[in-house]
C-alpha cells in the first residue's frame, strides 16, 4: 500500500500525531509493531508463559488504541512501558496462582539507581572506586570488571568465567549496588 511505504519512515512522534489527527489505527499499528519485541519480552518476564504473553501483547494494543487519545504523550517508550507493565500486573492480580513474590524482587531490582556507567570525575572518586572494587566479593568484581572495563557481554562473561547467565546478571547488579554504597561511604569520610 502507498501509505505503508511512507509509514515505516515516520518517527514515533509523527505516528502518534498522525493517529490522533486521523484516528486511523494503521499508524498506531505501525508504532506498536516497533515495540513488539520489547513488549513481548516484558510480558514474558512478568507472566512467564508464552501463550499468556502473546495474549497480553494483543490486549495491550487494544488498551493503547483506547488510551493514546486521552493522554499527552511526551515519551512513547516510557509511557508504553508503564501501560504494558500495569497490564501485566493486572493480569497477574487476576490470576490467583500467580507468583507475586517474584515480581516484587524484580521491581526492587529496577529501582536500584544505575549511574555507575559514567566515568568517575575526580581523583578522589577514582581512588575510591579502585578501593571499593577490591572490597567486592570475587565473583562480583570479576563480572563488573569484564562488563564495564572490557566491554564484554553477559554471554561473553558466561564463557569466560563459567558462571551461569542469571548469576552473572545478579553479580553485576549486586556488585554495582555494593560499589555505589561503598563509594558514598568512602567519599564522605574523606
- Number of other residues whose CB lies within 10 A of the CB of residue 10: 16
Taking CB under 8 A as the binding criterion, the range among 9-17, 23-31, 128-136, 180-188 that sits at the site for another protein is: 23-31
> Minimum distance between the CB of residue 190 and another protein, rounded to whole angstroms?
27
How far is it, in rounded angstroms, from Cα 114 to Cα 135?
19
Q: x-or-dash pattern for another protein, window 134-173, by CB under 8 A?
A: -------------xx--xxxxxx--x-----xx--x----
3-state secondary structure at position 27: helix
Cell reading at 111:
529501582
Q: What does the H/E/C string look like for 89-136?
A: HHHHHHCCCCCHHHHHHHHHHHHCCCCCCCCCCCHHHHHHHHHHHHHC
> Minimum distance between the CB of residue 147 and another protein, rounded to whole angstroms?
7
Cell reading at 116:
555507575
Which residue lies nearer to another protein by CB, 90 or 124? 90
How far is it, in rounded angstroms, from Cα 176 to Cα 164?
18
Out of 12, 55, 125, 139, the residue judged to bind another protein by CB under 8 A: 55
Span 118-137, contacts to another protein by CB under 8 A: none
Out of 15, 46, 92, 163, the residue judged to bind another protein by CB under 8 A: 46
Q: Measuring CA to CA, how many Å separate 124 from each of 116, 120, 130, 131, 141?
A: 15, 9, 10, 10, 20
Which residue lies nearer to another protein by CB, 5 or 188? 5
How far is it, in rounded angstroms, from Cα 78 to Cα 47?
20
> Minimum distance between the CB of residue 85 and another protein, rounded to whole angstroms?
7
Which residue lies nearer to another protein by CB, 44 or 186? 44
> Minimum distance between the CB of residue 132 and another protein, rounded to whole angstroms?
18
Residues whose CB falls within 8 Å of the CB of residue 90, separated by 6 or more in sequence, listed in order: none
Per CB under 8 A, residues contacting another protein are 1, 4, 23-26, 28-30, 32-33, 36-46, 48-55, 57-58, 61-62, 65, 77-78, 80-81, 85, 106, 110, 114, 117, 147-148, 151-156, 159, 165-166, 169
Amino acid at each position: 500500500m502507498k501509505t505503508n511505504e511512507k509509514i515505516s519512515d515516520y518517527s514515533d512522534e509523527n505516528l502518534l500525531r498522525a493517529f490522533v489527527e486521523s484516528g486511523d489505527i494503521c499508524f498506531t499499528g505501525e508504532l506498536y509493531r516497533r515495540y513488539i519485541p520489547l513488549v513481548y519480552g516484558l510480558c514474558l518476564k512478568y507472566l512467564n508463559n508464552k501463550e499468556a504473553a502473546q495474549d497480553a501483547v494483543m490486549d495491550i494494543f487494544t488498551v493503547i488504541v483506547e488510551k493514546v487519545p486521552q493522554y499527552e504523550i511526551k515519551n512513547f517508550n516510557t509511557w508504553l512501558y508503564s501501560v504494558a507493565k500495569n497490564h501485566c500486573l493486572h493480569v497477574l492480580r487476576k490470576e490467583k496462582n500467580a507468583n507475586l513474590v517474584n515480581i516484587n524482587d524484580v521491581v526492587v531490582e529496577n529501582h536500584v539507581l544505575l549511574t555507575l556507567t559514567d566515568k568517575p570525575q575526580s581523583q578522589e572518586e577514582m581512588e575510591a572506586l579502585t578501593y571499593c572494587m577490591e572490597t567486592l566479593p570475587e565473583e562480583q568484581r570479576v563480572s563488573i570488571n569484564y562488563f564495564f572495563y572490557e566491554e564484554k557481554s553477559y554471554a561473553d562473561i558466561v564463557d569466560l568465567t563459567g558462571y551461569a547467565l542469571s548469576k552473572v546478571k545478579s553479580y553485576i547488579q549486586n556488585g554495582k549496588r555494593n560499589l555505589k554504597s561503598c563509594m558514598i561511604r568512602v567519599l564522605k569520610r574523606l
